[in-house]
Amino acid sequence: MERAALFDVDGTLTDTNHLHIVAWWEALRQTDHVVPMHAVHRALGRPSSDLLEELLGKERDSEQDDGLSAAHSALYGQYFDRLAAFPRAGDLLRELAADGWRIVLVTSAGGSELKALRRAIDADEVIFATASADDVSEGKPAPEPVEHALQLAEVAAAQAVFIGDSVWDMKAAVRAGVRAVAVLSGGIPRADLEAAGAQEVFDDPADLLAHLKNGPLALGS
């Protein structure tokens, strides 16, 4: 029976969350929006329009959204040649693929950003597919990104595990009927991840790799 390991990317496989925080903080600052970085952090993992609604409210001037998103992209783009994966992230994907798991990335990144992230992970040969937020009408915490990943992997929800670092990741996985596993490498507290549906929590990709034989991705688990 085919199985799929669905992975969020930012904060899960790559050490990029805080770069996004700084880029959003600066983009907002350029348009006179004063938003604390911790608030930006907790909003990460959602589509840009939802993130901005979370930070600025529904009554904001939504006509600024495209400009703010473009500013964030330009600021974040300065880091593309320096993006780093977490230690053993690529090894984790290769070990899972060797055990028969289909690896699917579930990310809002696309184009040159996705290329930079995949270059940092350095495991292209085992990535089965990438589910982009551009392919769905709603982003996380809606279940659509995870459901789209399942379609790409050609597996049922019961044959998949979703690994992410945010509350939104956990909620999306639960709503899609997929086992939710969290990592702390994105900076979100364990209690918040568990409250959102994480069945197991690991420190980072290296910790998950160390528990492959007896963790949620073990054969027969």
Residuewise pLDDT in 10s, the chain (221 residues): 799 999 999 999 999 999 999 999 999 999 999 999 999 999 999 989 999 999 999 999 999 999 999 999 999 999 999 999 999 999 999 999 999 999 999 998 889 999 999 999 999 999 999 998 778 888 899 999 999 999 999 999 999 999 999 999 999 999 999 999 999 999 999 999 999 999 999 999 999 999 988 877 775 45
Note the pLDDT of residue 108: 87
Domains and CATH numbers, the chain: 3-15+83-210 (3.40.50.1000), 17-78 (1.10.150)
Residue listed under structure tokens 């992209």: 73
Q: What's the token pair of residue 219?
A: 């054969």
Residue 142's SS3 state is coil
The whole-angstrom separation of Cα 143 and Cα 8 is 13
With beta carbons less than 8 A apart as the criterion, state whether 171 and 140 touch.
Answer: yes
The whole-angstrom separation of Cα 197 and Cα 170 is 6
Q: What's the token pair of residue 145?
A: 């990104």
The whole-angstrom separation of Cα 114 and Cα 118 is 6
Largest CA distance in the chain: 54
Main-chain phi, psi angles of 40, to 5 degrees = -60, -45
Note the pLDDT of residue 200: 96
Structural Rg of the chain based on CA atoms? 17
57: exposed, middle or buried (C-beta count within 10 Å: 0-12, 13-18, 19+)?
A: exposed
Q: What's the token pair of residue 58?
A: 């529904």
Note the pLDDT of residue 26: 98
Listed in sequence order, the DSSP H helices in the chain are 17-30, 37-43, 48-56, 65-77, 89-98, 111-121, 144-153, 167-175, 190-195, 205-210
The whole-angstrom separation of Cα 165 and Cα 122 is 20
Note the pLDDT of residue 211: 93
Note the pLDDT of residue 129: 97
Note the pLDDT of residue 187: 97
Note the pLDDT of residue 216: 76
pTM: 0.94
